[in-house]
Chains A and B, each alone.
Chain A
Amino acid sequence: MGSTSSTLSKIPNADELIQETGFTSAHLARLFERFEALDKDKKGYLSPQDFEAIKELALNPICDRIIGAFFSSGQEMLDFSSFVRILAHFRPIDNNRTKEPNSPDPINSRINKLKFAFQLYDQDKDGKISRNELLQVLRAMLEKQVTEEQLESIADRTIQEADLDRDDAISFEEFRKSLEKVNIDHKMSIRFLR
């Protein structure tokens, strides 16, 4: 496609990105268009404000967490390659791609998907979801239908279920173990338009 290749030429190190994320060039071109559309001031990077400007996203109860996940390294600028790398978490796992023995896990592997979910809870990045952190997420998600007291009970029970070493917090290992039966591929994948 002509438009695809012309868009691709604008993307710096497009080939590496395709290699790394597993997106097709059509995907990449499409995401680049979206990136440019989000980048209202044409500054070449996205700021948290750009995300907040997405109307639907602003209504999301845990939108600050999600936006935060894009800016996890603390800086306020998100260039296209990081943007794509984060979105690549949500690519469905492809079975037929032969995995080279030495290559690292692809970004969209189960473990990486889980890691992404985990860091949404783990605000202080100490590798553990504390009761407070969980409570914050729960509070946002359950909104006003549940009293604070009930919320805490839910948080307690949730931690209790996962907490293997009884430190009243969920480490990533515990998180992974307790979600072993969940089909994360289904829960953490979206379809990208070509």
Chain B
Amino acid sequence: MPYSTVLTLLEAIILICDALAEGQIDEASQTLQLHSETNLTNAFIVKVQWQHVENPYLVVIWILVAGVAKMSVVQLNTRLKSFFPESGLLIICGFILGGIVWGADKAQTFKLTPRNFFYFLLPQIILDTGYFMPNKLFFSNLGAILVHAVIGTVWNAGAVGVSLWGCWLGGAMGDLNIGLLQFLLFGSLLAAVDPVAVIAVFEEVHVNEVLFIWVFGESLLNDGVTVVLYNVFDAFVSLGGEKINAGEIIKGIVSFFVVSFGGSAIGVIFAIIISLLTKYTGKVQIIEAGFIFVLGYLSYLTAEMLSLSAILSVTFCGVCCQKYVNANMDEKSVTAVRYAMKVFANGSETMIFVFLGVTAIDSVIWVWNTGFICLTILFAIIYRFIGVFTLTWFLNQYRLVPIEVIDQLVMSYGGLRGAVAYGLAASLDETRIPEKNLIISTTLIVVYFTVVIQGLTMKPIVKWLKVKRVEPTDLKLIEKVNNRACEHVLAAMEDIVGRIGDNWWTRGWKRFEDTYITWFLMKPEARKNRDYLFSIFHKLNMEDAVNYVTEGEKRGSLGFLRSGEGTNVDFEKKHGMEFSGVMPDITSELDFGIDNVPVTSIRNPVPSVSLDIHEQDMKSMSEDFNAHHLLQQNLYRSRKNHRHKYSRSDFTINQSEDEVQEIFQRTMRNRLESFKSAKMGVTPVKKITKHPKPNHKMSNVKTTDKSYPYGDEDFEFSEADSAYSGDGAAARGSPPVRAPPYSLGGGIENPAFMPEMDTPPPPWLTEAETNTGVAPSQRAQRQLPWSPTNLRRLAPLRLSNRSTDSFVMADVAAAPDSSDESPKEPSEEERDGQRDGTHM
């Protein structure tokens, strides 16, 4: 059947989408065959070939519909002050859509089939969660998560199954053709907390991170248990009660270890493969992002093929590869992966919830049994509470910081069931389980109950119980530095006390990783630059830079930076408006990690429409170049960012005529004053009284903060230093000290960017009385926007795999020019002789 092959291929290409009924492929291909046999006589100009495209067409339409549903839900939700959980609203959307379809067809045409769910919708969600897993948090809580995931799930399955069985014996459900094993099977498919539902609900609630990782980790890792329990009981049911002996039970227990550890191992293996592949994609960066998805999916399928836990496999694949992949890949690819991952995951999540709703509109599956359904919900909740509280009590005995009762309540309440349970229920075999439809409808009701009702009440409960939430905090370097120090201290204390604890394991792993794993899995260039603290530092600088540009463009154009001095300041608002729209998104994008890509899309001379796939590569080159330019123009000065003035939420563009006037006047005043001072060589002394930061780190001058003897000479330039010292002298070209009015957290001072200190601060940052101290012409003369000299300044700070050597060379060559024109004036700083020229 060639058509069906083609269709299946198409289906595979559109991984996220296939949410259609399974049987339709066959139907479609049959009709297609008929079709091709009959129409051979006439030539057509235009012909509607619906059958040709039916399947993919419907898939895409459904994606579109789900997308629109999500959009409207989000829209509605903002109006409802996000009172309703999105997932619940999507399910309700699904009800409506299903109702429409049912109204048209008088039958259920579309539903969520287990195959589509498990093969096309679930993998990318799990890959996404694994890939974005906060690794440190996850591994430090792994023990507790495993206890909950394994023991908790087994307990839930057993207790629910047995209790229902008991009630059935007691006659609470009337006449049902069902037995203990079937009840246990039902219990096991219902036991697992569902990752999709948990993510969807908890993402909106923002509980504290430990609580989150417990629930979330449990929902991921209990898959191994669920799969095993489900398979074992499924096998038991088909074996029949009397043939089960100790041997079978032991087999079941062994298979648990095989399934979960095997699944995880497959994931780790694929993670290694991904990391190795991305290590060697230096020349074809355009495809490296694809590897993550292809291999991630492959790990899922492989585990499924070996009947191991596929969810565990793809989770661990994501968890293990993220670090190395992010280090190996080009930053653009990292961003691409990040984004695509979110697109896929969000898409399938939406599809899943919508289709959970659509599925319900069906007259066939609904078998109502009040006793069964109510008791199931009741037991599921009760045993969840009991399990969580008991296990947490045990865990608290060994925890440094015990989990509080409130957190335990939320954790129990967050035991949401979702599409995984439904998928398992739907794939039951009707011949062996006569009450399959009752099980499906009960599962659906439990899912609706947990996702909609519990999801809806989650937020109020969290608020009401005053559960510790994540406080949105600004990233602070000092916190990170201190955390690092604390880690070392704790490890040391454990050594001193003579106890092998968490810190011991963490450190041991780190050492092992540093010596072997990074060597094996990382590009050599990437290995150098991956210190965590440094990357934080880099990220902060990037944020400052972006803020700076945003602010600049909000207030006017940054064009004057390039074109010299205030004379041709052009307040071109058009640009400013455009970019300030773009920038906020970029800033938030930065929160995900270290990347300096975002700024690139701006001022891109390459046309955005292009048919050549490889042009993307070329474009990227020039984008890089632009980014460099843009950043080096602006980055070095971010220390003068008055951050307190920048409100990220405040995007009011207050560029009234007055302001433009004011900026203009300020600039003029500055220029006049600097002109005056340059002429007379005097400084208003008041500006020197406080000099909080040495202005010229480029020569690695260490200053003490006590005194600044003004007469100290600054002539001893070493050979290697000359370029920088030249710049430095230029910066101090005229005696007036530019005491930068800087404030707490007001940006950075970075030697790598300092050589450009001779550029005047932008007018809006200059306090009215501050002296710029630089004759305008200097800046204009020296400005070679595209010279390697400029580029080089960014080079050491970029976490890039590119060599900076050529830039350095060019820099040296360019040195004499700059030093020639800069008058060597006395410096007001004292140096302590620690300059070492390492920056070369």
Interface residues of A (CB under 8 A from B): 31, 34, 37-38, 51, 54, 56-57, 60-63, 66, 87, 90, 92, 116-117, 120-121, 131-132, 134, 137-138, 141-142, 145-150, 152-154, 156-158, 160-164, 166-170, 178-179, 181-182, 185-193
Q: A142-B534, A185-B401, A190-B400 are in contact. List 11 more A-B contacts (CB 8 A).
A: A31-B497, A34-B497, A51-B496, A61-B488, A66-B492, A141-B484, A148-B838, A149-B752, A157-B537, A157-B748, A189-B401
With both chains docked as a complex, state the minimum distance between the C-beta of A99 and any C-beta of chain B, in angstroms.
Answer: 18
Contacts of A60 in B (CB 8 A): 488, 491-492, 495
The yes or no answer to B751 lying at the interface (CB within 8 A) is yes
> Is the CB–CB distance between B485 and A168 below 8 Å?
no
> Is the CB–CB distance between B697 and A152 below 8 Å?
yes
The yes or no answer to B490 lying at the interface (CB within 8 A) is yes
Interface residues of B (CB under 8 A from A): 398, 400-401, 471, 473, 476-479, 481-499, 501, 503-504, 528-531, 533-534, 537, 540, 639, 690, 692-693, 697, 700, 702-703, 705, 742, 744-752, 796-797, 836, 838-839
Contacts of A120 in B (CB 8 A): 485, 489
> Is the CB–CB distance between B477 and A154 below 8 Å?
yes
> Is the CB–CB distance between B534 and A150 below 8 Å?
yes
- Once the chains are docked, how many angstroms separate the CA of A1 from the CA of B488? 34
> Is the CB–CB distance between B702 and A34 below 8 Å?
no
> Is the CB–CB distance between B838 and A147 below 8 Å?
yes
- Once the chains are docked, how many angstroms separate the CA of A12 from the CA of B751? 56
Contacts of A156 in B (CB 8 A): 693, 697, 748-750
Residue among A57, A146, A148 making CB contact with B495, cutoff 8 Å: A57
- Once the chains are docked, how many angstroms separate the CA of A185 from the CA of B400? 9
> Is the CB–CB distance between B478 and A186 below 8 Å?
no
> Is the CB–CB distance between A152 and B751 below 8 Å?
yes
Contact A160/B745 with A149-B752, A178-B479, A188-B490 known, Cβ cut-off 8 Å: yes
> Is the CB–CB distance between A190 and B492 below 8 Å?
no
A-B complex: 8 closest residue pairs judged by Cβ atoms: A168-B705, A145-B531, A148-B838, A187-B486, A166-B692, A57-B495, A56-B495, A149-B839
Contact A145/B838 with A60-B495, A160-B749, A188-B489 known, Cβ cut-off 8 Å: no
With both chains docked as a complex, state the minimum distance between the C-beta of A163 and any C-beta of chain B, in angstroms.
Answer: 7
Contacts of A145 in B (CB 8 A): 528-531, 534
- Once the chains are docked, how many angstroms separate the CA of A153 from the CA of B749? 6
- Once the chains are docked, how many angstroms separate the CA of A187 from the CA of B502? 12
Contacts of B487 in A (CB 8 A): 187
Contacts of A61 in B (CB 8 A): 488
Contacts of B401 in A (CB 8 A): 92, 185-186, 189
Q: Could you write out 23 A-B pairs with CB less than 8 Å apart?
A: A34-B496, A51-B496, A60-B492, A62-B485, A90-B490, A134-B481, A141-B488, A142-B531, A146-B533, A148-B700, A149-B839, A154-B537, A156-B693, A160-B639, A160-B742, A161-B476, A161-B478, A169-B705, A178-B478, A182-B479, A188-B486, A188-B489, A190-B490
Contacts of A158 in B (CB 8 A): 477-478, 481
- Once the chains are docked, how many angstroms separate the CA of A132 from the CA of B692? 15
> Is the CB–CB distance between B839 and A147 below 8 Å?
yes
- Once the chains are docked, how many angstroms separate the CA of A36 from the CA of B483? 31
With both chains docked as a complex, state the minimum distance between the C-beta of B176 and any C-beta of chain A, in angstroms.
Answer: 49
Closest to A184 in B: B486
> Is the CB–CB distance between B477 and A163 below 8 Å?
no
- Once the chains are docked, how many angstroms separate the CA of A142 from the CA of B534? 9
With both chains docked as a complex, state the minimum distance between the C-beta of B357 and any C-beta of chain A, in angstroms.
Answer: 41
Contacts of A161 in B (CB 8 A): 476-478, 744-745
> Is the CB–CB distance between B702 and A137 below 8 Å?
no
Contact A34/B400 with A142-B534, A160-B749 known, Cβ cut-off 8 Å: no
Residue among A117, A150, A163 making CB contact with B486, cutoff 8 Å: A117
With both chains docked as a complex, state the minimum distance between the C-beta of B501 and any C-beta of chain A, in angstroms.
Answer: 6
Of the candidates A131, A153, A186, the one having the most CB atoms from chain B within 10 angstroms of its own CB is A153
Contacts of B752 in A (CB 8 A): 149-150, 153
With both chains docked as a complex, state the minimum distance between the C-beta of B669 and any C-beta of chain A, in angstroms.
Answer: 26
Contacts of A137 in B (CB 8 A): 481, 485
- Once the chains are docked, how many angstroms separate the CA of A8 from the CA of B400? 25
- Once the chains are docked, how many angstroms separate the CA of A120 from the CA of B498? 21
> Is the CB–CB distance between B746 and A153 below 8 Å?
no
Closest to A61 in B: B488
Of the candidates A92, A149, A156, A193, the one having the most CB atoms from chain B within 10 angstroms of its own CB is A149
Contact A117/B531 with A34-B498, A87-B496, A149-B752 known, Cβ cut-off 8 Å: no
Contacts of A92 in B (CB 8 A): 400-401
Contacts of A148 in B (CB 8 A): 700, 836, 838
Residue among B478, B748, B838 making CB contact with A149, cutoff 8 Å: B838
> Is the CB–CB distance between A167 and B493 below 8 Å?
no
Closest to A149 in B: B839
Contacts of B744 in A (CB 8 A): 160-161, 163-164
- Once the chains are docked, how many angstroms separate the CA of A178 from the CA of B475? 11
Residue among A51, A149, A164 making CB contact with B700, cutoff 8 Å: A149
With both chains docked as a complex, state the minimum distance between the C-beta of B134 and any C-beta of chain A, in angstroms.
Answer: 15
> Is the CB–CB distance between B501 and A191 below 8 Å?
yes
> Is the CB–CB distance between B531 and A146 below 8 Å?
yes
> Is the CB–CB distance between B530 and A131 below 8 Å?
no
Contacts of B838 in A (CB 8 A): 147-149
Contacts of B493 in A (CB 8 A): 66, 87, 90, 190
- Once the chains are docked, how many angstroms separate the CA of A83 from the CA of B697? 42
With both chains docked as a complex, state the minimum distance between the C-beta of A64 and any C-beta of chain B, in angstroms.
Answer: 11
With both chains docked as a complex, state the minimum distance between the C-beta of B757 and any C-beta of chain A, in angstroms.
Answer: 14
> Is the CB–CB distance between A117 and B482 below 8 Å?
yes
> Is the CB–CB distance between A162 and B478 below 8 Å?
yes
- Once the chains are docked, how many angstroms separate the CA of A152 from the CA of B750? 8
Of the candidates B498, B702, B750, the one having the most CB atoms from chain A within 10 angstroms of its own CB is B498
Contacts of A57 in B (CB 8 A): 492, 495-496
> Is the CB–CB distance between A193 and B499 below 8 Å?
yes
> Is the CB–CB distance between A153 and B488 below 8 Å?
no
Closest to A168 in B: B705
Closest to B698 in A: A149
- Once the chains are docked, how many angstroms separate the CA of A166 from the CA of B745? 11
Contacts of B534 in A (CB 8 A): 142, 145-146, 150, 154
Closest to A169 in B: B705
Contacts of B540 in A (CB 8 A): 157
- Once the chains are docked, how many angstroms separate the CA of A68 from the CA of B629? 47
Residue among A152, A181, A190 making CB contact with B471, cutoff 8 Å: A181
Residue among A87, A147, A153 making CB contact with B748, cutoff 8 Å: A153
Contacts of B482 in A (CB 8 A): 117, 179, 182, 187
With both chains docked as a complex, state the minimum distance between the C-beta of A5 and any C-beta of chain B, in angstroms.
Answer: 21
> Is the CB–CB distance between B478 and A179 below 8 Å?
yes
